[in-house]
Chain A
């Protein structure tokens, strides 16, 4: 059920400012693809174009094609709401819904989409929490508010919430940047398990993390501040970190950047 993403000639704007330019790449199903690059190079913007969250920002607009198994996400008559049901997202900062319990947080996607059977709900919640390696920690307090959990637990709650709606692709925007090393390890292990079922794209500032979790790595860069970000290269993670084909990649990875 994981799907392939084919991006071709994608350019994204914030108002009149061009944030990323002419990006083309393929993301393989059931794999982890990591985006690395300096701040402001458009990694997160590009990630958000993959589930049409970019246009939620005021002035956000996109040109180009994003094919999800041969269907263009930006084609005519495509409903962004349906796109986001297929392509889930986990954000940088854990953001559980503060008015909802742990159970309701995980069930939120199903409940608010209106597409569920009541009898299945608790089953789905349990499955999702187990999938996010959180079940054992919270099974006795499912009715407590989600905001009472620790930061790492909250982030795994958000992952559980995202996988509860059974997306085909899971986008992660620096999911560990607000977490301590132990919670980071927990999430990285989780990513390794989730890639059996989902196509995963992860943005990270941590190159060791990219090297640890990803199968393929894409390096983004921008020529200068104010210039649009571009995809420099995408390759097997091993090759990117050992023998990249572009000099800029090697400079960035070895810390000789700028």
Chain B
């Protein structure tokens, strides 16, 4: 497939090496071979030839490089090839997911869709929108953040700055356990309390379940960020005669604020897509209900699920579900961008 540069020099530092274009040639060769093999064997799934091509690429790289350059360089090239194959395998589903969501979602996504509810539209008919779901999602996620972010950050501050001994260990343990709680269990927990007091579904109940899911994520990320603050800064502050609480408030937190915000934003992104607790506790509603403390509400992930499940195969409902998915992805993406912006803006300055 490729020719080696085999001019012999007396140098001991320079060995034979493959030309620069050889990886591309091997890649092209293995793709062609992969297509050929799958055509010959009558495999019609595109996943199969991609996997065959990936395997051929790694094996081919090793065989050719071992021949020309020696075993050590061959191992190096195989590691590089593996990294590339893994990267492509990871990117392919991501790109295809974003692509299919965007291409199917833009069909009905317009201002009308964003500003109207499903109040007068049956699930199987075209029209309607997600205004009620956006309102519900924003309120439920916002309230959950208001509860979980302060508790989570304060817990992390306790663990890093004050926590010694058994209590801190117990808290760490329970935070770890909480990280593993399935969202439906958090929903059932709140539901059992609701049933005890004989309450009807309402938005804030969903917020409580989401807060349970969000808290451990916030604690973990904030803890890591606080641990990154050098101890020397704390000591410098204490040595100036600044009390510990002011040291934490004015030196430690500002230094790690960017990271803490990013952590909270990522936690929000995680709970914004939760469906199970919302289904149990908020129920869903095709009308606009902007009061999270009374009556069933809608939320974006729940809306997507219900459009898909209750539509009886109607194309209009599928279109709405895709458009709502696109809105949800956009919402999470905007949050991530905001988090990155804040992280960059608040990062410790190094300029001269």
Interface residues on A, range: 20 to 34
Please choose the segment from A89-97, A184-192, A202-210, A214-222 that sits at the chain B interface, where 4 or more of its residues have CB less than 8 A away.
Answer: A89-97
Contact B239 A93 (CB under 8 A): no
Given A95-B230, A99-B349, A144-B351, CB of A165 within 8 Å of CB of B255: no
Contact A95 B233 (CB under 8 A): yes
Main secondary structure of the interface of B (DSSP, over half): helix
Contact B238 A147 (CB under 8 A): no
Contact B241 A82 (CB under 8 A): yes
Chain B residues with CB under 8 Å of A144's CB are: 351-352
Partner of A84, one of B164, B240, B346, B350: B240
B235 lies within 8 A of chain A by Cβ: yes
* Binary per-residue interface labels of chain A (51-88) against chain B in the complex, 1 for a CB within 8 Å, 0 otherwise: 10100101000000000000000000000011111101
* Binary per-residue interface labels of chain A (141-154) against chain B in the complex, 1 for a CB within 8 Å, 0 otherwise: 00011011100000
Complex-state Cα separation, A95 to B254, whole angstroms: 15
A112 lies within 8 A of chain B by Cβ: yes
Chain B residues with CB under 8 Å of A32's CB are: none
Chain A residues with CB under 8 Å of B352's CB are: 144, 148-149
Chain B residues with CB under 8 Å of A147's CB are: 348-350
Chain B residues with CB under 8 Å of A99's CB are: 251, 254-255, 257, 346, 348-349
Q: How many A-B residue pairs have CB under 8 A?
A: 91
* Binary per-residue interface labels of chain B (213-239) against chain A in the complex, 1 for a CB within 8 Å, 0 otherwise: 000000000000000001011111111
Interface residues on B, range: 20 to 34
CB distance from A66 to the nearest CB of B (A): 16
Partner of A97, one of B236, B243, B350: B236
Complex-state Cα separation, A149 to B254, whole angstroms: 20
Name B's A-contacting residues (CB within 8 A).
164, 230, 232-243, 246-247, 250-251, 254-255, 257, 346, 348-352
Other than A95-B230, A144-B352, give 7 A-B pairs with Cβ distance below 8 A: A83-B241, A89-B239, A96-B236, A98-B255, A112-B247, A147-B349, A162-B239
